[in-house]
Structure 1
Amino acid sequence: MMQYLDMEALSWLCVAWGVLELGFIAVIMLYLVPRMNRLEAPAKYPIDGKRLIHKILETVDWLSEQEDADTTFESFLSGWFLGADCSELKRGNLVVFLAWTLYAKEVDALSKAERKNVMSMVKVIEGRLGRTMEPGFNERVKCIRHTLDRVVPFSHRPLALYAVLGLARALVRIALVLCGFRRRLAPCGSFMYWHRQAPPSGAAAAVAAMPGKTAGPGPIVFFHGVGAGLPFYVLALWKLCRHRTSIIVEAPSIMMSLALLRGHTPPSEDQLVESVEGILERHGVKRAAFFGHSFGSISVAWMARRKPHLVSQIVLLDPVCLLLFLPNVARSFLFPDTDGMPLHERLMLHLVTREKGISHTLRRHFWWYANVMWPEDIQCPIVVGLAGQDKIVPCKPLRRYLLSHSTFATCPSCPSGQNMSSVDGLINRGAGGSNGKHINESFVSSGGTGDGSLRIGSGWTPAGGGGGARGFVTNVNGNNRCKVHKCIGGYKCNGHGGPAASHGSAARPGGFVSATNGGGHVSKAAVLGQSPEAAGKQGITKAMGDGSDSGGDGVIKRVEIVYWTDAGHGNVLGDPWALDEFVRVATAQGAALSVN
């Protein structure tokens, strides 16, 4: 009897849930779809559109001139036209694309002056291509101009999925409350955030009580990326936030929720920047480190550009805001090419980017020109984590781009056991020392350095004295660490001891090879896997900075890059080892900045 009643109850439960799902579909089709397809007013351009395009073209030219460049002007233009060959483009296709690029408008909506500017840019592009484009319009060629698409595409997700995700978020919220966080409404009313004050204790309290001293890592503001929301970031939150004052911003518009059904609209740049400023003021935070993953890096870019005095450090993982004018991010999010992509990555990409709320955000509130971060926007030290197998972020050109705009940079390696042959940017900054010369900053290409965690800093001086091999000592001013290196990380460069390394020897897995005197010394030849003479020939001398942290002139004074050759977009968040390495670099840089 009980078994019969249980089966009957289960049957009624299934029927009731089926009715709910049908009602959910009806609400989406009758109410939500018309709202999703409604066009939105474009965001303000940060600079004149023509100046912006010329700036982009100059950067594309620079990228195309680099060794082993996979970015050319033709590939750049083809990418925005969904892979169409440039020979297929007609003048009308280019006019349609430039009307959207310069003014976020249809061609018919352009004023006479705007149309004149568009035609002048057509001539510029024709000059780059070396030919006059054929008049007319090729109907077979489509371009990316997602904010003007009449229909926002999406794939239906059952109500049950939202229920499961809602339960996961509820569990994370309970955990945050148990950890001392409190959830509050942002001043603009468009999003919620979590806050926890990290009280000093023990020795940290004694240091904090000293005038002019800061104990431990400083405050952090955390922005998550596209996906399920905070459940995806539990490990990262634990490692980043447990010892510091933390503000965690929730973005319902990019976390597969029913926020759109409830009438939620993503905050504009003005709203978010003013709200975050109000949040920091509310909790007595004068400056903070800003962390952004993937889409969350855009919020960090806004803060860095608009409120640089509030940003002490920038930490970006899988950032989409850098080189956003390249077609990679837009194509991957909006028109993904899944050929050759593993099945699980293909399913995840489809599950996330075609979810109705996320698709609406990407196609109605994603203004590339307002979201891009330029080097001059970075006026503080920055740590960037890049994944070599990222199908969204253009990691290879981005790594070169960051290093080329830096007066001081380090490139820590990927996790142990992974191939490091792609780590081709290592910049060292010299300092005077006993029996040593000042070394100019240089960019050096490496053909491979073995596995393990390799950190190259500054303050390296040629070893003098009784050693046999020419190497680089870390014993500057007698404290076995470099002053400048301390400023960006505070690490000691620990030698392993033993005989002097010969020219061209490879670095040991997991650490450094010793050079002269058998300890505390690192041979440049050992680190780079080549002779100092060969390394010098590959070097490109760079001007030294003034030692300040601020940029503002298109030059990033301090950048550290952590690069994982075998990781994909978001993989690091689930890899404790890789995440530890990234957090270690970011935390060390931030801690060094707080030391007076």
Structure 2
Amino acid sequence: MIGTSTVEYFFIRVCILFLHNIAPVSILYSIHLLAVQYFHLPIYPERIPYPIHVWLIAEAVFFATVFIPLKYARRHSPIYHRSLSAECREKLFRSCNANVPNLEKYLCRWLMVSEAECIKRDNVKDFIRWAFFRPGNRHEQDQQNEAEIETYTTEIEKLIGRKLSPGRMDVKGLGQLLNEAGGSHRSLLWYNCVFVVDTIMYYKMLYNGFHFHRSTLSRFFTIFLFRPLTILTAYRSPVRHLTYWHRRHTSKKRLPVLFIHGIGIGLYPYTSFLRDLNRELETGATDDSDVGIIALEIMPVSSRITHPALERDVMICEIMEIMRYHGWSKFVLVSHSYGSIIAAHLLKSDRFAALIGPTVFIDPVSFLLHLPDVAYNFIARRPARANEYQLWYYASKDTGVAHTLARRFSWIDNIIWKEDLGIKAEKNQEEGRNVTVVLSGQDLIVDAETVGQYLMGSSSEARTAEKEETRAWKNRSWIGYGLDVLWYEQLDHAQVFDFENTRRPVIKVISVYSDTG
């Protein structure tokens, strides 16, 4: 993530302006060419170099034949949302309400209204339907679940301490914005930039001792831009969709590491981190004591045109098959940002949780996901600073990311609570796991302060009344068992990977977990 300086602001705005206007310029140019041919007007090709002439036509063809059909198909694809039993809904409802610092502000942000007095009762009911009930025929939902929805609405009124005004305001809440999230056009030039970055990543990973496990040759054309270098590898992924980078594991005493990246441009931003982690784990290793690493590639959120994001159960099954293929019976789980969503699925899976040893969350979005911060900052916020424009254009507006958030993002599956972590209570206790959460004080996506308070057990009242206690959990030394937080006050989202002195403590944590797991 870039910074917030004036130079970075102008740089990112110029880049976005250029990339965003390639499509209209190429279309206008192609229309001009057609008009010239149709009306037999004179044309002066020497005014535009031939390579640019060909490029603009290719961009127009790509926009018309690939992007438009793709956007239409994704906008009309079904929304994945798992239904809950009444008992599970009630438990989730109470867990959410118990972890809301200010309920009126919470509703205002989700309903996208400015004042608490603007909250209408029917809007709250609509929000409850979106959050806790499977989307479908609204009339049918009302008939079957109206009593339960009314109970939740009354409970909210009790927690607020007043009756909500009857009626409905004509507002578009965050939930509706999420369902309607759509990506903006990405040019052929942009995908070629991604190709270059992907190629650099490929050689860096090979140089650092990793081997790429590709999908079948029949799936080569399911990822655009194509990855010709991946054909050269002799290693095959044992599953249909997931590809990954692998370093062999031979140690009998230490645990291997599974890494899951976040939204962005794939594994490229993590190559230095994986290189340093590899070197740390290699220290003192012999041929029969190598510590393995698997870095998954989550292509639907990696600036590619490819298959839709996998549903929860499919993702769990494919990762489990990869672990089985390499003979991993237990491992250290490390995830960053959106990767924490997949980590949450694994930790809450009865079939998979037993394989997971110590866990490291870096800039996680899955904690307190019921709060509107992540959704608002990713979807609804109007960018103003350089880092916000970078997030908005290169992440939020990517077609694959937008489809993932709009159609394949079920918050009831993606949220994780402290009790889901199975935290070890005492140092020498056999059951339970050690967990470290890495938070950045300037995170533009996650409300890191609130997440840290929740994880370390401090109430919101303590946060405002006892600043000494707040400083204590932020500055507390890493213990190595139970639940730990590493706090980086001056860092933004993902910046922990950018500097050796900030990623070094995280790597040390993973190494210790591998030793003691």
TM-score class, shorter-chain normalisation, is 0.7 to 0.9
TM-superposed deviation, 1:187: 4.7
**Among 587, 592, 595, the residue aligned to 2:511:** 587
Correspondence for 2:428: none
Distance 1:117 1:448, change over 3 A: closer
Higher helix share: 2
Where in structure 2 are the equivalents of 1:437-448 lying within 5 Å? Answer: 445=469
Residue equivalent to 2:406: 363
**Is 1:158–2:187 an aligned residue pair?**
yes
The answer (yes or no) to whether the contact 2:177–2:379 under 8 Å persists in 1 is: no
Query: Structure 1 residues 400 and 155, CA, compared in 2 at 3 Å: closer, same or farther?
Result: same
Task: After TM superposition, give the deviation of residue 383 of structure 1 in Å.
Answer: 1.0
Matches within 5 A, 1:73-472: 73-105=103-135, 107-139=138-170, 141-146=171-176, 149=179, 151-178=180-207, 179-185=209-215, 186-199=237-250, 208=252, 214=253, 217-242=254-279, 243=281, 244-259=291-306, 264-306=307-349, 307-339=352-384, 342-379=385-422, 380-404=433-457, 445=469, 455=477, 457=479
Q: Which secondary structure state, in structure 1, belongs to the residue aligned with residue 99 of structure 2?
A: helix
- Aligned-residue offset at 1:224: 0.6
Shift of 1:241: 3.5
**Alignment check: 8 A CA contact 2:309 2:408 kept:** yes
**2:426 equivalent in structure 1:** none
Change beyond 3 A, Cα 1:168–1:46: farther
Question: What is the distance in 2 between the residues matched to 1:56 and 1:28?
Answer: 41
- Structure 1 residues 174 and 29: alpha-carbon distance in aligned structure 2, compared to 1, 3 A threshold: closer
- Contact 1:383 1:586 (8 Å CA) reproduced: no
**What is the RMSD computed on CA atoms of the aligned residues?**
2.7
Distance 1:41 1:348 in 2: 24
Q: Give the aligned residue type for 1:230.
A: L
> Cα offset for 1:177?
3.1
Q: Secondary structure at the match of 1:563?
A: strand
TM value normalised by structure 1: 0.66
Shift of 1:195: 1.8
Q: Which moved more, 1:8-17 or 1:246-255?
A: 8-17
Moved more, 236-245 or 104-113: 104-113
1:40 counterpart letter in structure 2: P
Q: 1:46 & 1:110 partners in 2: Cα distance?
A: 13
Give the direction of change, closer, same or farther, for the CA distance of 1:454–1:124 in structure 2 (3 Å limit): closer
Residue 564 of structure 1 deviates from its aligned partner by: 0.5
Structure 1 CA distance for aligned equivalents of residues 178 and 268 of structure 2: 33
Q: 1:53 to 1:188 in 2, by over 3 A?
A: farther
Higher relative contact order (CA 8 A, sep 6+): 2
Give me the whole-angstrom Cα distance separating, in 1, the residues matched to 2:112 and 2:66. 29
What CA deviation, in whole Å up to 9, does each residue of 1:547-577 have, x standing for no partner? Answer: xxxxxxxxxxx11110011111111111211
Distance change in 2, residues 1:571/1:181 (3 Å): same
- Gap change, CA 1:159 and 1:146, over 3 Å in 2: farther
Which aligned pairs between 1:531-546 and structure 2 lie closer than 5 A? none
d(CA) in 1 for partners of 2:470, 2:119:
39
Corresponding residue for residue 58 of structure 1: 98
Is the Cα–Cα contact under 8 Å of residues 360 and 436 in structure 2 kept in the other structure? Answer: yes
Report if the CA contact (8 A) 2:263-2:338 is conserved.
yes
Q: Deviations over 1:146-168 (max 9, x none)?
A: 4874x443222211011111121
Q: Aligned equivalents of 2:509 and 2:316: distance in 1?
A: 27
Report Cα offsets for 1:310-342 as digits up to 9, x if no partner: 101111100001111111111111112435xx3
Tell me, in whole angstroms, the C-alpha distance in 1 between the residues paired with 2:472 and 2:94.
36
1:154–1:121 Cα change, 3 Å: same
Q: SS of the residue aligned with 1:312?
A: strand
Q: Distance in 2 between matches of 1:273 and 1:349?
A: 29
> For the residues of structure 2 that align with 1:447 and 1:18, how far apart are their CA atoms?
56
Residues 238, 325 of structure 2: 8 Å contact kept:
no
Distance 1:237 1:456 in 2: 22
Matched, 1:33 2:84: no
Task: Give the Cα separation in 2 of the matches to 1:357 and 1:350.
Answer: 13
Q: 1:134 to 1:250 in 2, by over 3 A?
A: same
Task: Answer whether contact 1:147 1:365 (CA < 8 A) is retained.
Answer: no
| Alignment partners' CA distance in 2, 1:126 and 1:454 | 39
Question: C-alpha displacement at 1:585, in angstroms?
Answer: 2.5
Shift of 1:454: 6.1
Q: Distance in 2 between matches of 1:97 and 1:142?
A: 11
Mapped to 1, the partners of 2:322 and 2:256 lie a distance apart of 12
Give the equivalent residue in structure 1 for 2:13: none
Report the Cα distance in structure 1 between the residues aligned to 2:340 and 2:353, rounded to whole angstroms.
15
Deviation at 1:122, TM superposition (A): 1.2
**3-state SS of 2:213 partner:** strand
- 1:492 counterpart residue number: none
Q: 1:227 to 1:120 in 2, by over 3 A?
A: same
Q: What letter corresponds to residue 99 of structure 1 in structure 2? A: R
Specify every segment of 5 or more residues in structure 1 that has no aligned partner in the other structure, as ranges.
Answer: 1-6, 61-70, 201-207, 209-213, 406-420, 426-443, 458-487, 490-557
Counterpart in 1 of 2:219? none
TM-score, scaled relative to structure 2: 0.76
* C-alpha contact 1:273 1:303 (8 A) present in aligned 2: yes
Residues 178 and 379 in structure 2, CA contact (< 8 A), matched pair in contact too: no
Q: Is the 8 A contact 2:59 2:188 kept in 1?
A: yes
Alignment-derived partner of residue 461 in structure 1 = none
Contact 2:210/2:245, CA 8 A, preserved across alignment: no
In the alignment of these two chains, the number of paired residues is: 421
Please give the per-residue CA displacement for 1:32-61, whole angstroms capped at 9, x wherever unaligned: 12112114243324662232112211222x
Over residues 511-566 of structure 1, what are the superposed CA-to-partner deviations in whole Å (9 max), with x where a residue is unaligned? Answer: xxxxxxxxxxxxxxxxxxxxxxxxxxxxxxxxxxxxxxxxxxxxxxx111100111
Residue 301 of structure 1: CA displacement? 0.9
Distance 1:220 1:272 in 2: 18
Question: CA offsets, 1:220-243, max 9 Å, x none?
Answer: 111110011111111111122443
State the identity as a percent.
Answer: 23
Give 2:152's aligned amino acid: M
How far is the alpha carbon of 1:121 from its aligned partner? 1.1
Structure 2 residue runs of 5 or longer lacking an equivalent are 1-44, 216-236, 282-290, 423-432
Q: C-alpha separation between the residues in 2 aligned to 1:456 and 1:172? A: 32
CA distance in 2: counterparts of 1:43 and 1:370, whole angstroms:
9
